[in-house]
Amino acid sequence: MLCRERPQTGTRHKGRLSAPFPQPVTLIAPERLRHSRFVELLGKGGAALFSSGNEDSGIGRITDGARFVTIAQAQSSTVRVLFCIPSLSGGGAEKIAAQVATHLDQSRFNVTLFAHDRAGRFVGSFENGVRLVYASDKPYTRWRLPLLLLKTANLVWNSDIVVGANEGRATVLSFLCAAAFRKKFVSWIHCDWSEFGKYTSWRARLGLRVSAWGDAVVAVSAGAGAAFRRLVQVNRHKLITIPNGIETEKTRRLAHQEVTAEHLELFRSPTIVAVGRLCEQKNHQLLIRTHAAIMRSGVFHRLLILGEGHLLGHLRALAAELGVPDTVHFLGFKSNPYPYMRHAAVFALTSLFEGAGIVLIEAMATGAPTVAVDCPSGPAEVLGGGRFGVLVPRHDDAKLRDALVAVLTNPQYRSNLSRLALEGAARFDLGQTIASWEELLLRLFSGQSPVPLVHEPG
């Protein structure tokens, strides 16, 4: 059957469509209908594009004024794709969304990246690679919702496929508009919501359910997808795992830039490096306490934390309370954190939860030995269950301390972990992520239902 995009004006009689249609239509149909009376029903000016095989399984019904194309036609057409995000803040979700939007094949995709607010550390970083539209230069407030909805509606109307690229209001507003205009809609799940939901409002949890109502749901890891399915009823054929990827060669090139002379001095001692927002999710408190415990055991080292956030004052106070204010260094946000990762004796991730842990992949790409808490979800998949780095059980502070001490005090062990980290990072190249997204978008544009495109890292 064929896929509906607009209300049908033809009439049905005993399961048949009347003809002719008031407007010319182009339809996709399986090859077996090429010589049937089906073609006669198109009416004057109509046309049928036939595909070989049984390609009609995910295609809807004939509609007036609609445009249908075969998969081959879709691959030769320019697909208008709209990515919607709240802002370009310095988080991993915003970064990967902007990277995917920027790197889609411009000969096949006409991409617009729509951000509600012109705010965030990545403003100015992606303008040259994609059409970037901001709703406002002012911070978001609820009274602006009607204006955001109108702006979103205008952009959705001129798109073929809409991607709610970050859970929250951007996804909710873009879905409402996509549903009103009968556009294809994809939601993107970046977090393990079985944990993240404990730290969000009821509105955010309610909005999460909207993510299951579109045509496809993309999860950044198998764990994040499984958590989503436990919380929200979603057809398993809609749920697709596309792991986050990074620009591996670019990351390694940037990692060889030098840090400032002041910060380079810090690396004269063994260092633990952590990168992430200073918020509850990243659980830097655990890392500071572990650092203090290691210092008390007589292993001198420094802890460098890169990132900004509302917990900065609390974390400084905790370091002072534990007697380590001089060995815990808060270096703020760095647009290029990779040299710090490369110089680290060990990169540590102690998050309460993740979605994929893209910062872990970036650290591994610089050759940093990695130790991560096995939080839901992502680190276990990134580290291959402990094959490419040290995976520590949750809520086991002693094992975390012992793992970090082992890396800090054993140069040969560090060297082996560094080699394994490089090997593991190669499994998450951005090119694989882009290829998976392009395949999904073309399937949706051609009228096929999404299928599990699980590109499992090797």
Rounded to two decimals, the pTM is 0.79
Nearest to 450 by CA among 56, 78, 441: 441
pLDDT of residue 253: 96
| Domains contained in the chain, CATH given | 12-68 (no CATH), 78-245+430-445 (3.40.50.2000), 248-428 (3.40.50.2000)
- 3-state secondary structure (DSSP) of residue 420: helix
pLDDT of residue 64: 38
Distance of alpha carbon 131 from the chain centroid? 19
Nearest to 42 by CA among 66, 20, 61: 20
Structure tokens at 8: 């049908």
pLDDT of residue 75: 55
Cα–Cα distance for residue pair 263/261, rounded to 1 Å: 6
pLDDT of residue 236: 79
- With beta carbons less than 8 A apart as the criterion, state whether 213 and 244 touch: no
- 3-state secondary structure (DSSP) of residue 117: strand
Cα–Cα distance for residue pair 198/427, rounded to 1 Å: 31
Nearest to 251 by CA among 379, 414, 361, 102: 361
Query: For strand 16-17 and strand 12-13, is the pairing parallel, antiparallel, or unpaired?
Result: antiparallel
Cβ neighbourhood burial of 43 (10 Å; 0-12, 13-18, 19+): middle
Q: Spell out where 350-421 has E strands.
A: 370-373, 390-392
DSSP string, 368-380: --EEEE--SSSHH
- With beta carbons less than 8 A apart as the criterion, state whether 151 and 173 touch: no
- With beta carbons less than 8 A apart as the criterion, state whether 239 and 229 touch: yes
pLDDT along the chain (458 residues), means of 10: 35 36 40 39 39 37 42 68 87 86 93 88 72 85 88 96 91 95 95 77 77 92 90 87 94 94 94 95 97 98 96 98 98 94 98 91 97 94 96 96 98 97 96 95 89 55
Cα–Cα distance for residue pair 170/156, rounded to 1 Å: 12
